[in-house]
Structure formats: C-alpha cells, structure tokens
C-alpha cells in the first residue's frame, strides 16, 4: 500500500457519553481505514496536559484539560493511505458550526468545546507524538485486512 501512514483519533468524553464510539469506528472502517489499536481509558490531569501541551499558553487550555479529563475517552490508531488527511476530512472543522453535513463533527457536534472527536493534524508531528503518548509499540497490531487488495492499487 503506497503512502500508508498511521494517525491518532480520540472519541472525547461527550462522544463517549452520547454513545457514538461505534458510529465513529464504523465510519472509519467503512472508509477502508484499518484500526490497529484501541483503548478505552480516562485521562488524568498530567496526561491531558501533555496531550494538549501545544495549547498551554492559550486562554482555553484549562477548560480543554478539564473537559478531556471529565469522563472516559476512546483512543485509537488508524492506518491507511493518507490516513491523517482522510481522518481530518471525515471529522470536519474543529468548530462543528463550520463543519459540512456528513462529517463527524457536522453530524454530531453543536459546540466548539463539545466537538465529539480529536484527530492528529500531521503525520510527522502530532500523530507520532500522540500515538506514542497513548500506545506502546506492542499495543499496535500489524495485520492485513482481507479487503485491502480491493481498496488500494
């Protein structure tokens, strides 16, 4: 598979509470992306602060970390051709009000602070860092999906 990459996705506490984990997983699987790791967990304050470290000097940082630690999350690693870009398009804009219908945030989000899902924005930067922050190498499973020859040239 050409341009195969991995990206990090997290269903946030609002998505978990609303029972959207299965719907979100199904959307990525239907697209042809391959789930290689998944973990249902609850972030502590230190983990949340490390995850959102690039926002530490922004006025919304404390609200962001308070929210992400307010309930369980479902962390995942997805693999596929141009996975980072595909996931970003499928999630929609950060602000659900600006997200197109058919995107995850466009269909399920109503508020910037409750936008259901987080996804890495670059492979070399945030995806690698976020994957390493949530998953050890042995928690990521390499395998070939039976439909890969039908998905990729």
Supply the residues annotated as catalytic.
Answer: 118
Tokens 């996975």 belong to 83
Joined together, the tokens standing for residue 16 give 């978990």
Instruction: Single out the residue of 7, 134, 23 nearest to residue 83, CA to CA.
Output: 7
Would you call 53 helix, strand, or coil by DSSP?
helix
Tokens 């609303």 belong to 18
What is d(CA 77, CA 117) in angstroms, rounded to the nearest whole number? 13
Answer for the pair 104, 27: CB distance below 8 angstroms, yes or no. Answer: yes
Q: Are strands 34-41 and 117-119 parallel, antiparallel or unpaired?
A: unpaired
């Amino acid at each position: 598979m050409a341009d195969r990459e991995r990206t990090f996705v997290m269903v946030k506490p609002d998505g978990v509470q609303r029972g959207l984990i299965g719907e979100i997983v199904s959307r990525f699987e239907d697209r042809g992306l391959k789930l290689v790791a998944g973990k249902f967990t609850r972030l502590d304050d230190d983990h949340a602060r490390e995850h959102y470290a690039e926002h530490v000097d922004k006025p919304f940082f404390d609200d962001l970390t308070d929210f992400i630690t307010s309930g369980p999350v479902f962390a995942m690693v997805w693999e596929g051709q141009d996975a980072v870009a595909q996931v970003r398009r499928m999630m929609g804009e950060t602000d659900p009000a600006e997200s197109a219908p058919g995107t995850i945030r466009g269909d399920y989000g109503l508020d910037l602070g409750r936008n259901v899902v987080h996804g890495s924005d670059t492979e070399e930067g945030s995806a690698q860092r976020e994957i390493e922050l949530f998953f050890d190498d042995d928690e990521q499973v390499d395998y070939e999906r039976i439909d890969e020859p039908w998905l990729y040239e």
